[in-house]
Each structure stands twice: as structure tokens, then as C-alpha cells.
Amino acid sequence: MLTRPEILRLDIVSHKQFPKDKLFRLVKIDDVYVLDEGHDMKGRGLYVLKDEETLNKLSSKKLMSRYRLNEEVVMRMKACLIKK
């Protein structure tokens, strides 16, 4: 049997590709990005690596204003990291 290739997505902070299971997915709904924890919402998505250092870079860079992210979304991603 043929095995499927691993699905890779681009992290918006580091611009490197990672497997989907190592990334948070943000979906654009009404010009605002929300956290898609189940990776099943419809719509365009952005991906951020599930790493504390990456989340700190995301909140310190101009990426939040570029992608119209609010602080609440970043805090929810950090909370998900703490749970695991």
C-alpha cells in the first residue's frame, strides 16, 4: 500500500513548514482570526507553531497588527500550551 505524504503547513512567525499536528490554526471569520482547536472550521487559516518562544515572538512582532490578531487569541494559544 501507498502511504500518504505528511501534510505540512507554513508557520507565519518562522516561515518554516511543520506538520499540522504541531501547529495552532487560526481561521478568519468576519475579518477577525479565531483559534480553531479542532482544525475543522471552514475558512482561510493561518498556522502558528505550538511553542512558547514562537508565541512570544508573535506578540512582540508587528504580526499581530498585520493579521489583525487580538491579545485574547494569543492568550488562548498560551493557555492551550499550558494544558498539555
Mean pLDDT, all residues of the chain: 87
Task: Supply the pLDDT for residue 49.
Answer: 95
Mean pLDDT of 56-65: 81
The pLDDT assigned to 33 comes to 85
The rounded distance, in Å, linking the Cα atoms of 33 and 25 is 9
Predicted TM-score of the model (pTM): 0.84
pLDDT in tens, 15-46: 999 999 999 999 988 888 889 988 888 888 89
Query: So what's the pLDDT on residue 32?
Result: 82
Domains and CATH numbers, the chain: 8-83 (3.30.1230.10)
CA atoms within 13 A on the CB side of 22: 14
Q: Where are the alpha helices (DSSP H) in the chain?
A: 52-60, 63-66, 71-83
The pLDDT assigned to 66 comes to 81
